[in-house]
Amino acid sequence: MKSYAKTILLKNDPEKIAEYRRHHDHIWPEVVASFRKVGVLDMRIWLIGHRLFMVMDTEDHFDPETSLDKYIQLDPQNDQWENLMASYQEPVPEARPGEHWADLELVFRMSDH
């Protein structure tokens, strides 16, 4: 299993943040099924203020670039979902050019000690 941690900002508007949360309470089943098909075992998103923090656990064969491209292609609903979610989001200042969700660097893993 591999894990990825990422962060992004939501537009700093309480009503839009509430809408974003409601969408995730009713995530489209096709989106979840497609994530599973490409090797995402679990995904968790936390919110503080208007910053999101995501941890994604995946199968070992998962490659972020190719697997996420495959996810988009599995069902037209996936691209619609991602575009809808992007309308609420904005990259963090630390994001690299072209990066939507910014990768977080692992600095400590207790199991390594």
Domains belonging to the chain, first-starting first, are 2-107 (3.30.70.1090)
* CA proximity to 103, closest of 64, 60, 50, 49: 64
The phi, psi pair for 17, rounded to 5°, reads: -65, -40
What predicted TM-score, i.e. pTM, was given to this entire model?
Answer: 0.90
Across the strands, what pairs with 3?
A: 57
The phi, psi pair for 92, rounded to 5°, reads: -75, 155
Q: Which two tokens stand for residue 63?
A: 């490659």
Q: Which two tokens stand for residue 80?
A: 């619609």
Q: Per-residue pLDDT for the chain (113 aa), expressed as one digit of tens each?
A: 999 999 999 999 999 999 999 999 999 999 999 999 999 999 999 999 999 999 999 999 999 889 999 999 999 999 999 999 999 999 999 999 988 999 999 999 999 99
- CA contacts within 13 A on the Cβ side of 8: 16
The answer to whether 31 and 99 have CB atoms below 8 angstroms apart is no
In degrees, to the nearest 5, what angle opens at C-alpha 65 toward C-alphas 22 and 2? 80
